[in-house]
Amino acid sequence: MFKTVENISAYYANPQRFMRLAGKLHAPVWALALIVLAVGLHMVANVPDDYQQGATVRIMFVHVPAAWMSLFAYSFIFFASVTALIFRHPVGHVAGRAAAPIGAVFTLIALLTGSLWGQPMWGTWWVWDARLTSVLVLFFIYLGYIALWQAIEDYGQAARATAILAIVGSINVPIVKFSVDWWNTLHQPASVSRFARPALHADFLYPLLVMGLGFTLLFFALTLTRMQMEILRQRARARHLANDFEGDE
Amino acid sequence: MGIFLSLCHQHMLLAWRSGHTTLIVTFLFIAVTLMPFGLGPELALLSRLAPGLLWVVLLMSLLLSLDRMFQADYEDGTLEQLGLLPLPMELIVLAKSLGHFIALFVPLLISVPVAGLLLNIEAAVLPALMLTMLAGAPALTLLGAIGAALALSVRRSAMLTVLLVMPLYIPVLVFGATSSTRAIAMSGQIDWPALGILALMSCAALFMAPLAAAAALRVALR
């Protein structure tokens, strides 16, 4: 039926068709996400304590996947915005808007769990380490994106302006990473280097990967739900306006 | 070219005559005056922190000035008229940015050595500090133009613009402030690699930022 990715994408540019697809995908994606997360949590519960870190090592299984998701969600927003701007794909705007708060929360979780983990391990809640700093900046970029969506009243204008911002931000993220690395290595030689970690043992690696998969599925499930809500909200508003218009006559 | 220069000239005159330039420069001095109250009047400490503080204060002054970049022209409809000019929107952005640079950034830059006196800055550091600020200026102005253009259709957009532009300014601040602080350690010598990176960022901003800002202006004008 579909010859290329472009055809598929063009087919689902119609929100009506997208809603039909989303309706079918919704339950399976949620079910899969919850199952994988449950399996992951079970595996994490059975992970042996680390010989250096004790039980606090379990923070890793939330922290690391959340940090992955913070970047993954931003890449998702970037591709949605490019699709929306270049191919005039209305669902792209909806996807970007739906994913942003989820990505921001994952970023916040990564920051908070990192802080909780840092306290027992490094003896401090926060270090101006290059990685921490660039994740914090990423969080501010998310906030800016969300704030711009909220601030501009006209939907079409908000959609295009935020898409431009997402693309500018995605150029900015690697530059921030590069500059902060340079800044940090200049100021603090190995004094606060991350604790010497042996290559991850399989006991830790597999639960981590399962949790990562679970977080990814959770992201898609949440995004899908939010996209459906967004499209329904737009329809409700359109119907409301139409009713108002008829009432005037 | 004539239109370009007259646009730039108009932007400068407006900034100057509306008192915006004076206000922003005053803000820089107020912010610098607050520092010793916050940090204590110990001269050695202030002297050590001065380059970094001046960089941060410069950025904050610039951030505050951004909502004037396109806002007035947008609200009274001038921007729509400018859109009819036989001049691409990208060049309009460049003209406005150049005007903004001359009318606001240059006065701020001139104030920096004077404000530095208040912070007991070492005179030997000043050339390096000013040079890095000058090298970062195009990037700062043009990245600011993106934020100002994006938030254009929002009322009272100053705070939003700050949020949008702040992440874009961080790389410039990192290279600018760090190399100025290093100038103290190297007894005033200029940190050429960092200066080169700043200039590179400015060049990149010169080519890419007008595209983004012009796209954002077109969105706001539809």
pLDDT > 60? residue B119:
yes
Backbone angles phi, psi at A193, to 5 degrees: -65, 155
Q: Where are the alpha helices (DSSP H) in chain A?
A: 5-11, 15-45, 60-86, 90-122, 130-151, 155-187, 202-248
Are the Cβ atoms of B167 and A144 closer than 8 angstroms?
A: yes
pLDDT > 90? residue B214:
yes
d(CA B154, CA B49): 37
Half-sphere exposure (Cβ direction) of A24: Cα atoms closer than 13 Å: 5
- Taking CA–CA distances from B219, the nearest residue in chain A reads A157
Query: Tokens 């597999």 sit at which residue?
Result: A206
Which of the residues in chain A have pLDDT under 70? 1-6, 51-52, 185-200, 247-249
Would you call A4 helix, strand, or coil by DSSP? coil
Q: Can you give the residue range of the structural domain that contains B46? A: 2-221
A157–chain B Cβ distance below 8 A for any pair: yes
Which of left, alpha, beta for A199 (phi over 0: left; psi -120 to 50: alpha)? beta
pLDDT > 70? residue B121:
yes
Are the Cβ atoms of A140 and B167 closer than 8 angstroms?
A: yes
Of A156, A164, A176, the CB nearest to B150: A164
Residue A188 has what DSSP assignment? Answer: -
Q: pLDDT tens-digit profile of B64-94?
A: 999 888 988 888 888 888 888 888 899 999 9
- At B166, the amino acid letter reads M
Q: pLDDT tens-digit profile of B3-29?
A: 888 888 988 888 888 888 999 999 999
Task: Give me the pLDDT at residue A189, please.
Answer: 45
Are the Cβ atoms of B150 and A137 closer than 8 angstroms?
A: no
Q: pLDDT tens-digit profile of A83-112?
A: 999 888 889 999 999 999 999 999 999 999
Q: Closest approach of chain A CAs to the CA of B164, in angstroms?
A: 5
Task: Give me the pLDDT at residue A44, please.
Answer: 84
Q: Do B140 and B104 form a contact (C-beta atoms < 8 A)?
A: no
A82–chain B Cβ distance below 8 A for any pair: no
pLDDT > 90? residue B54:
yes
Task: Give me the pLDDT at residue A193, please.
Answer: 42
Q: pLDDT tens-digit profile of B134-153?
A: 999 999 999 999 999 999 98
List the structure tokens of B89: 């929107």
Q: At what angle do helices B20-39 and B2-17 cross, to 10 degrees?
A: 60
Task: Give me the pLDDT at residue A116, please.
Answer: 86
> Could you tell me the pLDDT band of residue B168, with boundaries at 50, 70 and 90?
very high
pLDDT > 70? residue B166:
yes
d(CA A59, CA A62): 6
Q: Do A95 and A15 form a contact (C-beta atoms < 8 A)?
A: no
Sequence-separated (6 or more) residues with CB below 8 Å from residue A118: A124, A125, A126, A127
Torsion sign over Cα B110, B113, B114, B119: positive
d(CA B94, CA B104): 15
Report the domain count for chain B.
Answer: 1
Using an 8 Å CB-CB cutoff, list chain B residues near A157: 153, 219-220, 222
> Average per-residue pLDDT in chain B?
90
